[in-house]
A and B are shown apart, each in its own frame.
Chain A
C-alpha cells in the first residue's frame, strides 16, 4: 500500500472528472493526490463542497437550534444567566424583525457555505506550505490549496452526516466522536468534552488524508509528513477548544 500511495503519476496521467475524484478520494487517495500534483484543480472540489454544504444546511439549521438551547441550559445551570437572552427576538413579538433576522441568517449561512471552505482551505494550505518549505518539500501553494480543497470534501461530508445523525437522534453530541463514547453526558462547557469531540471519524479521516496528501505532493518521508500533519491536527484542536473557551471564559472569570 505504501508503494501504491507514493507512486509518482506521470504528466501523461488523465485529468479526473468529479466522479472519479470522489471515488478516488474515498478509495485511493494516493492516486488522487498524485493527480492533484499534476492537475491542481480547485473549482471541481469547490463545487462538490458547495453542493454538499447546501444539502447540509437543512440538518445544520436544526442542529444549530439544539446547540443554542444547550448553550442556554448550560449557562443557566452553571452561571444563573441565560447566555443567549440578548439574542432572543421572540420577546419583541415583531414578526417583521423576526423575518428579517431569518432571511439575514439564511444569507449568512449560504455565504458561509460558499466562502468558508475557500477561506479555511487557504489558511490550512498556507500553513502547510510554510511548514513544507521549512522541511524542503517540493509542493507549491496551488498544489497544496487544491489538495486541501479535496480533503475538505470529506469535512463537508462529515458535516452532512454528523448533523443528519444529530437531527435524527435529537442529540447535539457528535456520535462519530470519542466524546460520544467516553462522555455521553458531557456538555459544551467542558474542555475535555470539546477536545474529544474534535477527535471524530471524519477528523481522523481528514487527518489521514492530510498526511497522505503532504507525503505524496511534497514527496516527503512518512516522518516529515507525520510532523506536519500532527501540527495541523494540534492547530485544529486548539482552534476548536479556543473558540469555545472564548464563549465560556468570561463567565468562568466572572467578567460577563
Chain B
C-alpha cells in the first residue's frame, strides 16, 4: 500500500512540476508581449474630417395640387356615365346623362302640393267664421228672459211676505178677541155661540197663514233655477262673443296656416327642381378623370361628389410629407429635399419645401398616434412621380463642412447629459475624454473636444473605465490616417 501511495505522490509531484513549468512559460510569453493576456481588447479609430449633412427624414405621398370635383346639378337617376377613370376630357364634354322621367314625377308632385295648399286655405277660412247677430240676439234674449223670471219670482215673494205680515196681525187681533169673549162667556155675559164663533175666526186665520207660508216656500224654490238659467245664458253669450279668441280656436288657425306654408314651400321646391333639372353634366375644365364615384342607375345626391378631374402633369403635383413634431423646429420653407421612393427606382429628385402647415395634426402610425407637421414640397421639371406614389423625403436641415466625426457607437453618455469617449493612450491605457456632440449623419456624429490624432475606442463596453489597461487592436485605416 505504501508503495502505491509513494507512486501516487511521485506522479502528483511530476504533475505539479509540469504545471509550474507551464505557468512560468506563459508568464514569460506575456512579458514579451508587454500586455497581459487578459487585458480587454478594444478597437480604436482616428476621428475623421467629414462634411456632415443633417437631414430630417419623413415619408409622404405625391398629391395633385389642383383638382376639380364635379357635384350633381340635379337629383335624378343616372342614365349614362360617359367617362371612366383615366379618361382625358375637354371642357364642354358630356360627362353624365340623366333620365328625364323624373320630370313627370315632379309634375305629379306639384299638382298634389297645389291641392294640399287649396285644402289648407279652405280650412283656414272655416276656422276664421265669426258669430252672427241673430246668434248674439238670441243669446241676449235668453238672458233677458231669465232675468224676467227672476224678477217675477222676487215680486211674488214680496207680495206673499206682505200678506203673511197682515195675516199675522189679524191672527193676533182674533186671538185677543177670543180671549175677551172667553172672559165674558165665563162671566155669563155672552153666549157660548159667540165664544165658538171667536174660536172659529182664529182657526180660519191660522189656516190661511199656513197656506201663505207654503206658497212662499214654493216660490223660493223656483228662484234658484231661474238664477242658474241667467248664469248659463250670460256664459253662452260670452262664449259666442269669444269664439275666435279661445286657445283651441287659435291652434286650429295656426295649424291651417302651417299647412298652407308647407304646401307653398313644397310647391316652390318642386318648381325649382323642375326649373333646375338638367339632362346632362358637362365638364367645366379640361383634364383627366382621376376619380369616379357614381355608377349608372343610381340616383345622384346633391352635395355628394360624382367625379374628380385634374391636370396630372408634373407641373400640378406636390409632395406632401409628415414630419414628426420633434423635428419640426429644424425645418423651414426653402430647405432642400432629396426625394426617393420605390416608384422611381434609383432616381433621386431634388425638391424644395414650399409650405409648412401652421397646425400640427395627429396620424396613426402602426398602433400609435403621432403628432406631425404637414409639409409640402415641390419638385421642378419633368419627373416619374405620379399622384398617389409613396415617397421618402430627406430634408437637409444643416451642412457642416470639414468637421471631426466619430462613429455614433463610440460615444457614451452618463446621467446629466455628459457625453464622453475613451481614448487609447500610448501606454495602452484608457483616458476618458468629455466631448460635445454636434450634428448626426449616417451613423457618424460630429464631435468637439477631440484632435485628429486622438485614438478613439470604437467599441466601448460598459466594463471599460478610466486608466484601464487594454489590448488595442490596430484598425485597418490607422496607417493611412497616420
Decide: A66 and B4 in contact? CB cutoff 8 A.
no
Q: How far is the CA of A69 from the CA of B470 in the complex (A)?
A: 12
The yes or no answer to B26 lying at the interface (CB within 8 A) is yes
Interface string of B456-477 (1 = CB under 8 A from A): 0001011100000001010010
A123 to chain B, nearest CB (A): 27
Interface residues of A in 168-209 (CB under 8 A from B): 169-173, 175-177, 180-181, 184-185, 201
Decide: B4 and A76 in contact? CB cutoff 8 A.
no
A232 to chain B, nearest CB (A): 21
Q: How far is the CA of A247 from the CA of B19 in the complex (A)?
A: 28
The yes or no answer to A138 lying at the interface (CB within 8 A) is no
The yes or no answer to B43 lying at the interface (CB within 8 A) is yes
Q: How far is the CA of A165 from the CA of B18 in the complex (A)?
A: 13
Instruction: Choose among B15, B25, B37, B463 the residue with the greatest number of A CB atoms under 10 Å from its CB.
Output: B37
Q: Contact residue range for chain A? A: 20 to 34
Please name all residues of chain A whose beta carbon is closer than 8 Å to the beta carbon of B28 when the two chains form the complex.
Answer: 184
Please name all residues of chain B whose beta carbon is closer than 8 Å to the beta carbon of A184 when the two chains form the complex.
Answer: 22, 25-26, 28-29
Please name all residues of chain A whose beta carbon is closer than 8 Å to the beta carbon of B193 when the two chains form the complex.
Answer: none
The yes or no answer to A12 lying at the interface (CB within 8 A) is no
Q: How far is the CA of A69 from the CA of B36 in the complex (A)?
A: 13
The yes or no answer to A88 lying at the interface (CB within 8 A) is yes
Instruction: Choose among A26, A88, A165, A175 the residue with the greatest number of B CB atoms under 10 Å from its CB.
Output: A175
Interface string of A35-46 (1 = CB under 8 A from B): 000000000000
- A201 and B18 in contact, given A27-B8, A77-B473, A184-B29 (Cβ under 8 angstroms): yes
The yes or no answer to B346 lying at the interface (CB within 8 A) is no
A19 to chain B, nearest CB (A): 15
The yes or no answer to B141 lying at the interface (CB within 8 A) is no
Please name all residues of chain A whose beta carbon is closer than 8 Å to the beta carbon of B187 when the two chains form the complex.
Answer: none
The yes or no answer to B162 lying at the interface (CB within 8 A) is no
Give the number of residues in B that approach A within 8 Å (Cβ atoms).
Answer: 30
Decide: B41 and A180 in contact? CB cutoff 8 A.
no
The yes or no answer to B5 lying at the interface (CB within 8 A) is yes
Decide: A175 and B5 in contact? CB cutoff 8 A.
no
Decide: A76 and B23 in contact? CB cutoff 8 A.
no
Please name all residues of chain B whose beta carbon is closer than 8 Å to the beta carbon of A177 when the two chains form the complex.
Answer: 22
The yes or no answer to B40 lying at the interface (CB within 8 A) is yes
Q: How far is the CA of A27 from the CA of B5 in the complex (A)?
A: 6
Interface string of B84-96 (1 = CB under 8 A from A): 0000000000000
Q: How far is the CA of A73 from the CA of B472 in the complex (A)?
A: 10
Interface string of B1-32 (1 = CB under 8 A from A): 10011011000000100110111011011100
Instruction: Choose among B4, B30, B36, B463 the residue with the greatest number of A CB atoms under 10 Å from its CB.
Output: B4
Decide: B22 and A170 in contact? CB cutoff 8 A.
no
The yes or no answer to B367 lying at the interface (CB within 8 A) is no
Interface residues of B in 41-66 (CB under 8 A from A): 41, 43
Please name all residues of chain B whose beta carbon is closer than 8 Å to the beta carbon of A170 when the two chains form the complex.
Answer: 36-38
Decide: A69 and B459 in contact? CB cutoff 8 A.
no
Q: How far is the CA of A69 from the CA of B1 in the complex (A)?
A: 46
Q: How far is the CA of A70 from the CA of B22 in the complex (A)?
A: 19
Decide: A69 and B38 in contact? CB cutoff 8 A.
yes
- A173 and B26 in contact, given A76-B459, A82-B459, A91-B462 (Cβ under 8 angstroms): yes
The yes or no answer to A28 lying at the interface (CB within 8 A) is yes
Q: How far is the CA of A185 from the CA of B38 in the complex (A)?
A: 12
Given B25, B461, B476, which contacts A180 in the complex, CB threshold below 8 Å? B25
Decide: A175 and B8 in contact? CB cutoff 8 A.
no
Q: How far is the CA of A72 from the CA of B321 in the complex (A)?
A: 44
Decide: A169 and B23 in contact? CB cutoff 8 A.
yes
A-B contact pairs, 17 of them (CB 8 A): A28-B4, A69-B40, A76-B473, A88-B461, A88-B462, A90-B461, A90-B462, A165-B23, A171-B38, A175-B26, A180-B22, A180-B25, A181-B18, A181-B21, A181-B25, A185-B29, A185-B33
State the 5 A-B residue pairs at the shortest beta-carbon distance, nearest first. Answer: A73-B41, A180-B22, A90-B462, A175-B22, A184-B29
